Amino acid sequence: MKHANFGDLPKKALFLYLIAGLFLFLPSTASFGQSPPKLKAIASLFPLQDFARAVGGERVQVDLLLPPGAEPHTWEPRPSEAAKIARADIFIYIGRAMEPWVDDLMKAVRSPQLKVVEASQGLPLMEEKDHEQGEKRFHRQDGRGGNIDPHIWLDFSLDGAIVDAIAAAFIAKDPSQAGRYRENAEKFKEKLDALDRRYRISLSRCRHRQIILGGHSAFAYLARRYGLLQVALYGVNPNSEPTPKKLAAVIQTTKSQGVRFIYFEGFINPKLAQVLAQEAGVGILALHNGANLTKEQIKNKTTFLSLMETNLVNLQRGLECESR
């Protein structure tokens, strides 16, 4: 039997011969050089999207269900959103108090592989009737005893539990990356803790303790956390209209407390806040509840943490807090 004589081969032919032999011992070209596919997650609100991005990093693609600029309380999903969620691995939402359409949506999705995270599950939720009473009672979302306030992401001390729930869902779907998800979650929780400390210190010594809001009652969790009292024109539903009696009472409170500013929400029409400010002879400042972003904010890569830092600056100014 005559063996191949490599010395008789031209250099170019020898090179190709060796390359061909090398590929016999390598993975197939279908998998060569390719990384595992990313997880696909969909979040109902911007804070949940931002938390999920922080936990997932480059391993997870996180989309926001809300269109830019949409008001979360009034928006409802279309059939195309159900199809989008059906193609995802994970769906993250706050709870039925925030997304009353979720049960109907899940019936339309019909995806047994979908992992669903109810972010508020097991957390102490406030009822709307507690807001003006200034009570610090906790309530479970069990459907009894009043309207639940869903704006729980504005209590930064509770956000860590939401981050952990998101990390657990990612790990369940992608256990090989468990260490990475846990590490990312811990790093982001440290940032939330630092934000919480800045709020606690910055708002500890203020001339005023009332957040007078010319909009709906979105900041009760934040107020409770830092020993403040929210005075809003109407309840947790931004579509409500304040009564003339309520408007007069808030104007009287504004004047009697000697405040220089009232607040309006970024996604709510500021008309009522402007009327209130004009009647009371004060200025207005913005507070963002963070539930969604505008196109401009998305373009500028606005984060939940940066929105909350801006809120802190305006709270310090409006409440006339001492610099620490």
Tokens of 235: 């309840």
CATH 3.40.50.1980 segments of the chain = 39-120+147-199, 204-318
Residue 34, pLDDT score: 59
| Position 162, amino acid | I
Residue 90, pLDDT score: 98
Q: Which stretch of DSSP H or E encloses residue 207?
A: none
CATH topology of domain 204-318: Rossmann fold (3.40.50)
Residue 273, pLDDT score: 86
Burial class (CB in 10 A: 0-12, 13-18, 19+), 57: middle
Nearest-angstrom CA–CA distance, 45 and 120: 13
Which CATH number is associated with domain 39-120+147-199? Answer: 3.40.50.1980
Asked if 114 and 198 count as a contact pair (C-beta separation under 8 A), the reply is no
pLDDT in tens, 139-151: 334 443 348 899 9
Residues linked to residue 196 through DSSP beta bridges, in sequence order? none
Q: Which residues of the chain have pLDDT under 70?
A: 1-35, 129-146, 236-240, 324
Asked if 170 and 55 count as a contact pair (C-beta separation under 8 A), the reply is yes
